[in-house]
């Protein structure tokens, strides 16, 4: 009686959830299930292996529990009652055995995957490369709360937009000016921490032209939610053209202007800026400066009133 009521109340909500899932499952919004680069692909492969193994165990256990709940329900007399039964060597062996075997099996894949996706040397990408292979290097500098993508091969930089040629491995070096943030492009490459005074690395390779969302995956302060960037994977010719376009920009980045650029800025309007010139070694310069104690402090309670802060920020004419 009571349970009937519970089910009647719960059914519409369950239907809503299932409906949401099924109506949008193939709409490409499940980024993790819709990888477009070799790194993200590999992540998904391991996820499938793990979920198959663990899902089988967990699923069977859940069914077992439900079956016991049904069979040994007091008063229904479906199963026999053994008031003292509390030990069985055979069952003990099974209950220790299953998890040990499962963990052993998955441990192999865990280690294999960790080496394949090692951000410093992702063998899923590098195994197909020779020293002569074409590659794009990008130095990623996270500030409070913008991204600067420096292309050392082209001596130029772009703020808050990442453009890469298709079919070409891209290698990132990442550092931050102020606090720890995270670099994440769900459909292309997993997360890596971006830390001040430190250098991390990552890489991506994709054969899919398209536009992908980049996210700051670690909380870095008030502007984190707007610290997103578009990642455009374009054909080689289009990339060359784009480089020309950046090189034609009147703006340049110097060490001094970087100082100003790195001051706290909430990128609400997703401004993108092209810098046709960047001093070589800006990345190392920033890292060394931070290691020497340079900080870009934020004013106290800067977003206590966000509307007022945005008015102040736009009055600064930072562009």
Judged by CB under 8 A, the stretch of 235-243, 247-255, 275-283, 303-311 that binds another protein is 303-311
Is the distance from CB of 178 to CB of 258 less than 8 angstroms? no
Q: How far apart are CA 145 and CA 138, in angstroms?
A: 18
The reply on whether position 9 binds another protein by CB under 8 A is yes
Query: What is the Cα Rg of the chain in Å?
Result: 26
CA distance 148 to 108: 38
- Which residues, at least 6 apart from 212, have a Cβ–Cβ distance to it below 8 Å? 36, 185, 186, 187, 188, 230, 231, 232, 233
The answer to whether residue 1 forms part of the interface with another protein (CB under 8 A) is no
Q: Quote the CA–CA distance of 300 and 272 in Å, as a whole number.
A: 27
Part in contact with another protein (CB under 8 A); list of ranges 132-140, 153-161, 212-220, 237-245: 212-220
Bridge partners, residue 173, by sequence: 139, 201
Contact map string, positions 142 to 161, toward another protein, x by CB under 8 A: --x-----------------
**CA nearest neighbour of 264 among 318, 207, 187, 315:** 318
When the beta carbons of 237 and 315 are compared against another protein, the nearer one is 315
Question: Which among 15-23, 127-135, 159-167, 278-286 is the span making contact with another protein, rule CB under 8 A?
Answer: 15-23
**CB-nearer residue toward another protein: 198 or 252:** 198
Long-range CB pairs of 312-315 (<8 Å, 24+ gap) are 313/265, 313/266
Sequence-distant (≥ 6) Cβ neighbours of residue 303 within 8 angstroms = 222, 266, 309
Q: Is 192 in the site for another protein (CB under 8 A)?
A: yes
In angstroms, the CA 314 to CA 319 distance is 9
Size, binding site for another protein by CB under 8 A = 124
* Cβ proximity to another protein, 156 vs 287, nearer residue: 287
Among positions 228, 254, 277, 313, the unique one binding another protein when judged by CB under 8 A? 228
Question: Using CB under 8 A, which of the segments 106-114, 151-159, 271-279, 311-319 binds another protein?
Answer: 106-114
What's the closest the beta carbon of residue 257 comes to another protein, in angstroms? 21
Question: Is 220 a residue that touches another protein (CB under 8 A)?
Answer: yes
Could you tell me if 175 and 194 are in contact, meaning their C-beta atoms sit under 8 angstroms apart? yes
Binding residues among 257-276 for another protein as defined by CB under 8 A: 268
Instruction: Give the x/- contact pattern for another protein in 26-65, rule: CB under 8 A.
Output: -x-xxxxx------x-xxx-xx--xx--xx-xx--xx-xx
Identified binder of another protein from the candidate list 15, 24, 260, 280, rule CB under 8 A:
24
Distances (CA, A) of 43 to 108, 118, 141, 222, 305: 15, 12, 25, 30, 40
What character string, x for contact with another protein (CB under 8 A) and - otherwise, covers 229-258? ------------------------------
Q: Of residues 79-98, which lie at the interface with another protein (CB under 8 A)?
A: 79-88, 91-92, 94-96, 98
């Amino acid at each position: 009686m009571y349970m009937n009521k519970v089910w009647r109340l719960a059914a519409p909500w369950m239907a809503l959830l299932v409906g949401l899932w099924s109506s949008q499952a193939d709409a490409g919004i499940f980024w993790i299930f819709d990888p477009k680069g070799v790194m993200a692909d590999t992540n998904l492969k391991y996820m499938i292996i793990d979920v198959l193994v663990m899902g089988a165990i967990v699923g069977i256990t859940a069914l077992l529990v439900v079956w016991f709940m049904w069979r040994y329900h007091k008063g229904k007399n479906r199963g026999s009652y053994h008031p003292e039964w509390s030990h069985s060597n055979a069952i003990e062996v099974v209950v220790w055995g299953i998890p040990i075997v499962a963990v052993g099996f998955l441990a192999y894949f865990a280690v294999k995957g960790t080496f394949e996706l090692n951000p410093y040397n992702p063998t899923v990408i590098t195994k197909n490369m020779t020293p002569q292979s074409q590659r794009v290097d990008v130095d990623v500098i996270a500030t409070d709360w913008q991204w600067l993508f420096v292309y050392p091969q082209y001596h130029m930089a772009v703020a808050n937009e990442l453009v890469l040629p298709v079919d070409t491995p891209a290698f990132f070096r990442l550092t931050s000016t102020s606090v720890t943030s995270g670099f994440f492009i769900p459909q292309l490459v997993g997360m890596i921490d971006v830390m001040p005074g430190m250098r991390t690395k990552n890489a991506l390779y994709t054969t899919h032209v398209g536009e992908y969302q980049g996210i700051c995956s670690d909380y870095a302060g008030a502007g984190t939610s707007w610290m997103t960037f578009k990642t455009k994977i374009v054909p080689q010719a289009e990339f060359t053209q784009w480089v020309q376009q950046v090189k034609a920009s009147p703006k340049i980045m110097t060490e001094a202007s970087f100082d100003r650029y790195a001051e706290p800025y909430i990128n609400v309007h997703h401004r993108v800026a092209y810098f046709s010139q960047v001093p070589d070694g800006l990345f190392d310069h920033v890292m060394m400066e931070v290691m020497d104690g340079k900080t870009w402090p934020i004013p106290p309670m800067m977003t206590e009133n966000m509307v007022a802060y945005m008015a102040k920020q736009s009055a600064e004419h930072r562009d």
